[in-house]
Structure formats: C-alpha cells, structure tokens
Chains A and B, each alone.
Chain A
Amino acid sequence: MPQAPKLAPTLGELLQERGVSRRAFLKYASYLSAVMALPAGSASALAEGLANARRQSVIWLSFQECTGCTESLTRSFSPTLESLIFDLISLDYHHTLQAASGEAAEKAREAAMAENKGKYVVVVDGAVPTKDGGLYSTIAGVSNLDMLKATAKDAMAVIAVGTCAAFGGIPKARPNPTGAAAIDEIITDKPIINIPGCPPIPEAMAGVVSYLVSFVKLPELDHLRRPKAFFGETIHDRCYRRPFYERGLFAEGFDDAGARQGWCLYKVGCKGPVTYNACATLKWNGGVSFPIQSGHGCLGCSEPDFWDQGGFYRPLSTNLRDMGPALAGAALAGAALGAGAAWASRRHQESYQREQNPNEGDKK
C-alpha cells in the first residue's frame, strides 16, 4: 500500500523539538499581538495560526544593499524567538545565510519557486538598478531587475525589507547613477509590504512574517504600504524627550549643557516629527536604547528619500535650498526696479508740472 507523502512539520512541532515551551510560545504570540496592536483575543489566534503553519518558503533576494538589514535581523540580539522563527521558515535562498553558492544557490532558488508556486514569499532587501537595462548589479549573470521580475511572478506576496527596497534608499540618493528603484515601482501586480528602516526593526520584520504566516493576509498598511502597527505614529509623538520640545528646551550641539541634560534634539536636525517608525517604543537591542536616547537625532531613515532632505543636521523647519545668492539678486533687482519706478514717477511729475505751469521757468 502506497504511503501518503509526509507533511512537513508545523512551526509548533518544530519549536517544541527545540525545547520552546507552550507557555513561552504563547507569551511570544501575546507580545507580537501587543506590538502590532491587534485586537484582544488575537494573541491566541496568532499563536494557533503560527503553531499550525507549515514551514513557509521564503526566497530572500539581496540587491543594491549593504547587508545591514540582514545583520540587524540576525545579529541584533540572540537567541530570541524572532530568530527561531526565522530559523524555522524555509529560507530557501539567501546570499548571506545559505551554505550553497554559485550555480547550486541559483538552482535552490529555482527549485523553491517551482515547488511552491504561488505560495512562497519573496523578501527583498536593496534597491534595484534599472538604468541601462539594470546592468549595474547582476547575480550569476542575471540582472537584479530580471531576477526580481522572474522570482516575484509566482510569489504569494513580496516584503520589501529596509529603506533601499521599500523606497530606493541610499542607492536612489541624488544623482542616482544606477537608476535605483523601489520594489513597488517594478512589481505592481503582487501584494507588497514595505518594512523600511536603515536597518528596519527586527520585531517589525518578525511581526509581519508571523502575521502573514498565521492569518494568510496582509496586515493593515499605510499609504506607503507600511504596517500601521509599526509605522502608525511618529518618533516625535512617542519620544521621551517630547516634553522638552514643548517647553522650548533644546540641545544646541552634541556636547553642550542641553545635550548633557537630555533636551530635545530638534535644533540639531532630529527628523522625529516626520518619521513614522517604532524606534521610540520598541527600541533596539532588546529594548535597550534607540538613536535619540543615545544622543543623536532621528535621521528619518524609514521615510522616502531620507538621504536627500537637506542634511541630517539641518533642522526640519529650515528651507531645503540655499537661498542666499538668489535672495541677494532679488533684493538688487527689486531696488533697481524701485529706483526706476521712482525716477519715472519724478519725470512724470515734472512733465505734469510743466504742462500746468508753462511759464514758470520764464518768471524765474
């Protein structure tokens, strides 16, 4: 009698094998539900969904990037349940983490695509060069542009990890010599989730993957396709230095008395008021700190074109362009116009007076 094909173990079974207790697993599911602001009762649904999910095939494509996103996810702090979740997904292709290389690696990607057609998730970090047919970055002789299109074709969803994949990031910074583009500029027919940040917060990544695996649907996204749970509020709104902003107490430099007293960093260029991210609440390295707590203003790294906002140390309320010469020219032109208008008016008045008193000159 032929044997039924053995199903891959569920995440719950795998976690159990690794010695993760049910209590710890439920605690983790509750934590994820809380950080994603899911409704009450979702924790058990999330836990159940995760526990029963089979290993999700994930193809991770790295394009124009610095590997900081992967570093953030794998080395931030360990061991954690997040890292276990990542261990337990079927990461079928990832340059940095996979053992295979060369043709074997590419074959693994193609095999995963064929076996999981329509079901696998594509994670992308890095922007995609599009100029000159995308020749500025190739893998195994295939341009990033072609590889992305081919891989995303049969994917269930695409997750753009990091600001380079989500918005073009640093590769797209002016003058953008490679024509770097964000993933959603190229892939337009698949569900896309952006998890920006330079790098993104590991919990945001883990939360989104867990949500996707558990509920098989996208979490609620904002207009930039970012999960609202992590990108729903500005850094400024949640910043512990906010009261200093309201009181008008600002650090003027990075080593002055205000900086030492932990005052607001708005004047030294903090972009917290226009940056949507969870750094101020989730923080980094297991909740130890985040840039503002460490004394540096927010760079706005989870926002589009953060690299081209006039400078990291330029306050948000200042203009983006150098206006000095233009304004000096305008003042000179205005003065010349004014002088010309006054001269014309004087001429007109004199001529009018001559008309009114034609003999005035004779009397004198």
Chain B
Amino acid sequence: MTLLEFARGPALQVAMIIFVLGATWRFFGALLLPWRLAPAEPRKGALSPIAAAFKGVVVKMWPHKPFQKAGMFTFVNGYILHFGLAIVVFLFAPHILFIKGLTGLSWPALPNNLVYTVGVVTMASLVAGLVHRLRSPVLRLISRFDDYLSWLLTLLPVLTGLLAAAHLGARYETLLAVHILSICTFLIWFPFGKLMHAFMFVFSRAMTGVRMGQRGAEL
C-alpha cells in the first residue's frame, strides 16, 4: 500500500469516523444540557429570548466601539482567516469533488489560481495571528496548549495544500498524501479542541445573548 493509498483509504476513513463521532458527541452533549436561565423575572423592556439570541449572534460580529481600537487587528485578521479558509476548503474543485463523493452535493468552483492566492493570504493571516498572540502578554497568558495545537493543525493542511499545488519539496503523490494526512490529523483533533467552535459558536453567542438580554444588558 502506497502512502497515498493509505491516506485516501484507511487514514481518511478512521479520521472521518472520529470526527463525526466526536463532533456529534460534543454537539448533542452540549445542546441537551438544561437551557437554564437565572431564576429572576426578566427586566422590564428586555428583549424576547429569540430576539436576544439573534442579537447576541449578530452584534458579536464586530467589536463594540470602546474595544475597536484594541481589537481591530483580531477582528480583521479573524475575518481574513475564516473567509480564506472557507474559500480554500469549499470553493476548490478537488475539495468539492471530495465533498460530492461523501454527500452527493456539489457547487461551482473558483479558478485554481485564485484559490492558491487565497491560500497564501490565509496562511499569512494564520502566521500573523500567531505573532499577535505571542506578542500580546494578555493573550500569551490565557493561551493554552489547545490554542497552539489548533493553530498548527489548521496551518498544516493549508501549507501542505499549497506545496502540493506548487509541486514543491517532494513528488506530487507524496505531497498529496501528506496533505490528506494533515487533514486527517485536523479532523481527529477537531471535536476535542477549540476547533469545535466552528459548530458551537452560534449557540454559545446565542445563549450569551439570551442571558444578557434577560438582565436587560445592552448587547
């Protein structure tokens, strides 16, 4: 069995199974917990829970005015990173074919050269994020192993994907196999670390909105 066969076969299969099992475990485990609010009556004029949940999700998409100066880099870089990742993952033709093979769903792809460019920007954004984290004493203090591992496991598929596209460093089939294996590692870690925020962030923001809304806090 070649490395590429191993990557496309058993490695990907095991990684996908762990990913699906772990993600549904954490997803249902969190959502089926009691949605308990403070026992107090909602403050007069407070938003309804649904409106507060919606507002909680939306207003967090941009920093409050007092935090704009300090948090602008994090927000802008975060948007570049996340949009970049979304484009690279979901609008690259070979990736769409992979998703189609799994789900039967497909959609139009972007030209490869454009995706490669976005990949480079995404990688630069990841590196900038790490530098920012390391340079900030506060961020450094609150960063844990999970943060750095999640960063590394996000970077590797982007890096190896770009190397495979450019045929740099090794034969193409080796680079492709390493790229797939890096995705396998990403998938295995995804449900158990902070990467899970991709599924949970909407719910956590919504719940924060509901709790804050009930107390009459301005969101």
Which residues of A line the B interface, CB within 8 A?
234, 236-237, 245-248, 250, 266-267, 273-274, 304-305, 309-310, 314-321, 323, 326-327, 330-331, 333-335, 337-339, 341-343, 345-346, 349
Contacts and interface: CB of A to CB of B under 8 A. Distances in A.
B113 A331 contact: no
B5 A316 contact: no
B114 to A, nearest CB: 8
Interface of A is mostly: helix
Given A331-B21, A339-B29, A346-B33, 4 more contacts: A310-B8, A317-B98, A320-B12, A334-B28
A319 B9 CA distance: 6
Contact of B97 (A234, A274, A317, A345): A317
A349 B34 contact: yes
Interface residues of B, number: 44
Contacts of A317: 94-95, 97-98
Which residue, A236, A304, A305, A342, has most C-beta atoms of chain B within 10 A? A342
A304 B31 CA distance: 48
Contacts of B112: 245-248
Interface string B104-145: 000001111110000000000000000000000000000000
A343 B46 CA distance: 31
A342 B36 CA distance: 13
Nearest to A275: B173
Contact of A338 (B28, B93, B95, B98): B28
B33 A342 contact: yes
A338 B9 contact: no
A327 B18 CA distance: 9
Contact of A327 (B16, B30, B31, B167): B16
A234 B24 CA distance: 41
Contact of A321 (B10, B31, B93): B10
B2 A305 contact: yes
A274 B173 contact: yes
Which residue, B2, B34, B94, has most C-beta atoms of chain A within 10 A? B94
Interface string B15-31: 01110111111111111
B9 A339 contact: no
Which residue, B23, B167, B172, B176, has most C-beta atoms of chain A within 10 A? B172
B10 A339 contact: no
B101 A314 contact: yes
Contacts of B61: none
B53 to A, nearest CB: 20
A246 B165 CA distance: 10
B97 A267 contact: yes
Which residue, B17, B23, B31, has most C-beta atoms of chain A within 10 A? B17
Contact of A234 (B10, B102, B172): B172
A258 to B, nearest CB: 12
9 A-B pairs closest in CB distance:
A338-B28, A334-B24, A342-B32, A317-B94, A318-B101, A338-B29, A341-B29, A330-B21, A248-B111
